[in-house]
Amino acid sequence: MPTTIQSDYEIDRSQQRLTAQQHKRLRKVVAGVRDMVEDALSLDSHAKRDENRLNDFANDTDGFRARARADRRDWLLLWVMCGTVLVYAVLEFMTSGDVAEMLACQMAPLFGVDPATGAMPIWLRRGAGVGFVASMLLITLLAKLVSGYALSALQTARGNLTRGDYGRSFRLNCGIWGIYFGKLAYVGAVATLYFWLFGFAQQRAAFMADLAAGQKQDQGSNGLAITIKDGAVQQEKSAPAESQSVPAGETISRLAGATGVFYATIVLLHAFVLILPAKGFSRELELAHFKKGRVEKRVVKSRGNEGRTLRAIYEHVRIAPEQYRGELVEATEPVHAAINNLYGRRVIGISGISNPPGSNPDGISAGIEPPPSSPNAPNGGVMAHGTNGHSHVTSAVPAFGANGTTHPASEAESPAMDWDAIFPPRQV
């Protein structure tokens, strides 16, 4: 059977495909551990942030407690403002029927509707009501924004006055009081508007009272007490009315009173929105949700999740196939110190790279040599005891101490873990 001879091109293409497949498998293996590394770093970052806040709270650094109280107060005021606006919008829409009808009649020709026919579309009335509510709310918020900006500028200028600026102080005070009176005048104008709208409510109440009275009259005229007997019409005496009707004025007051109460509430809401502080809208409220007990629980939870993630990373590297172990060790370099701190000794690291200054990932004091390791282990270090491939120690070899000197391992030390039994040496 003739043998197939491959050309250099085919051999090169096969080698490229094999390399691409190996690289793809390597990226897949590394991607999994990189996700765990990112999770561990994220948990550590969140825990450190919370720990710093707890430390600032305990030491009251830069007035931390006062800033936390101010943020919580402004956050509460912000929610009160939003709730007030929502209640206002609902109440205003409920009571805007009369003004919506009037506005819809004004806008009807723009939409090809003849108001004389009386067939006013319901969508046009609702649109007019929503437009009225939104307009009133926007005008109030705009008045609040402008007056608040002007008041803040005047108060800042008054705080920067120097000794002897009597004339300027008088003008600034007049401006500040002018803004206060302007707010009061705006509330008065809003109250006047709703008092005028209350007249429409009274007219509607009078119409409904007349309609109810007419219906009662019609019912009374139908009972004529007439009987026909032996071909002759006999009229009996009508029974007296059981009760007298309610006066028309009282009926109108009752029907229009509910609308008047709603209008008075709306005016108060306008005033409340205008005078309510709203500092929370202009700055970040990063400490608004800070509570010592809750943050302590969150730190404990974050550290627990971080520890589980670090142990999973180490186990993932430790049991990985030998051809991928070196790449995984390098991929997990950002969490090497954290893993060593977690285990209390150096269990993982890159050979030839010392720990960063100031760190003590071994968890042991200076002057004591690191625990035994293997070149094939995740720590990439040097074994403190040589082995012959079996489970017992054969001879002592120099080991590096924490001070950079070499000394023989003591025979009194506890037996080292047989890393070669866990990570078999590469076959050459």
Is residue 142 a part of any domain in this protein?
yes
Reported as a single tens digit per residue, the pLDDT across 230-272 is 555 555 554 444 444 445 556 666 666 777 888 899 999 999 9
Count the domains in the chain: 1
d(Cα 152, Cα 264) in Å, to the nearest integer?
A: 30
| pLDDT over 60 at 377, yes or no | no
Which two tokens mark 62?
A: 């830069």
Over residues 34-39, the mean pLDDT reads 92
CA 69 to mean position of chain CA atoms: 19
**DSSP string for 90-155:** HHHHHT-HHHHHHHHHHHGGGGT--GGG----HHHHHHHHHHHHHHHHHHHHHHHHHHHHHHHHHH
Is residue 365 a part of any domain in this protein?
no
Q: What is the model's pLDDT at position 206?
A: 66
Is residue 114 a part of any domain in this protein?
yes
| pLDDT over 60 at 306, yes or no | yes
Is residue 419 a part of any domain in this protein?
no
Number of other residues whose CB lies within 10 A of the CB of residue 197: 19
Q: What is the model's pLDDT at position 111?
A: 80
Reported as a single tens digit per residue, the pLDDT across 324-373 is 888 888 889 999 999 999 999 998 888 656 555 444 544 433 333 444 44
Please state the pTM of the whole predicted model: 0.60
Is residue 325 a part of any domain in this protein?
no
| pLDDT over 90 at 113, yes or no | no
Which two tokens mark 205?
A: 């109440």
Is residue 145 a part of any domain in this protein?
yes
Of 172-176, 353-357, 382-386, the range with the highest mean pLDDT is 172-176
Q: What is the model's pLDDT at position 387?
A: 37
For 177, 185, 186, 222, 381, the CA distances from 181, given in Å and listed in that order, are 6, 6, 9, 62, 80
| pLDDT over 90 at 290, yes or no | no
Is residue 402 a part of any domain in this protein?
no
d(Cα 111, Cα 104) in Å, to the nearest integer?
A: 10
Is residue 149 a part of any domain in this protein?
yes
d(Cα 372, Cα 382) in Å, to the nearest integer?
A: 7
**Domain encompassing residue 68:** 60-160+171-215+247-281
d(Cα 194, Cα 327) in Å, to the nearest integer?
A: 76
Q: What is the model's pLDDT at position 357?
A: 45
